[in-house]
Structure 1
């Protein structure tokens, strides 16, 4: 039995709409897919008592995060009848209004795709060693907490 290769999910800076469109387009020829579920995480310009968020700077313990993502990926594939799964997470500075997370799950049927996508996003948010530091309009920074 061959072991699956650990995939790099990280991209530097924002995730471009072109990357999302290309990823979707690559699946148009796959005739065994009946459903896609997509999650796009976007940086908000939240107003906080300390100032307005202008960007988030993402950092990660990359090796550990990739190993953990591989474990999550394998568990999701075992639990749901998926055709494919793609995850991209930003590192570095992502301005407000830009995308920092792209999760794309495909299956023969919608329920598996939707449920797997939701579980996958929750696992990414709460299990991966990835941190976000909010950059504010007054040059202050605040470490982001996931809710």
Structure 2
């Protein structure tokens, strides 16, 4: 089993954090392919109101347990070298990164398939909740779509 890491980050995920994550893998010469998914807060318009931010919350214990299950299944199904999942908590402004998945393997086909499946499983099964905050300061719970 791979080493467990902290998945949740307070605030937006910075470009520096993403770059450092990539740079750390340059010494791992058994990797032939990386794939990255970045989820960004959109300025959606809902009933004439523009989203300015999303406030993310979670049930840590439940979310971490589910994420560990997803990780284990992915390592069993795909020939992965490593996998990193990070999700923001707190208020993330439109345009900022809130979800970062970084998967590595010896071969590219493995990372493509694993990334798509993993992102979908996290969005569908992990108890992370987003409250959309609008320009007029109203808010509502976000409904995930594909």
The 8 Å contact of residues 43 and 96 in structure 1, kept in 2 or not, is answered as yes
Tell me the equivalent position of 2:66: 68
- Alpha-carbon deviations, 1:4-63, whole Å to 9, x = none? 654320000100000000000000111110000100000001111151000000000111
Q: 2: CA distance between counterparts of 1:69 and 1:90?
A: 14
Q: Secondary structure, in 3 states, of the residue corresponding to 2:95?
A: coil
Tell me the equivalent position of 1:91: 89
- Are 2:104 and 1:106 equivalent residues in the alignment? yes
Aligned-CA RMSD value: 1.1
Q: 79-88 or 44-53: which moved more?
A: 44-53
2:38 alignment partner, one of 32, 37, 40: 40
Q: 2: CA distance between counterparts of 1:6 and 1:106?
A: 16
TM, length-normalised to structure 2: 0.96
Tell me the equivalent position of 1:130: 128
The answer for unaligned runs of 5 or more in structure 2 is none
TM, length-normalised to structure 1: 0.95
Tell me the equivalent position of 1:16: 14
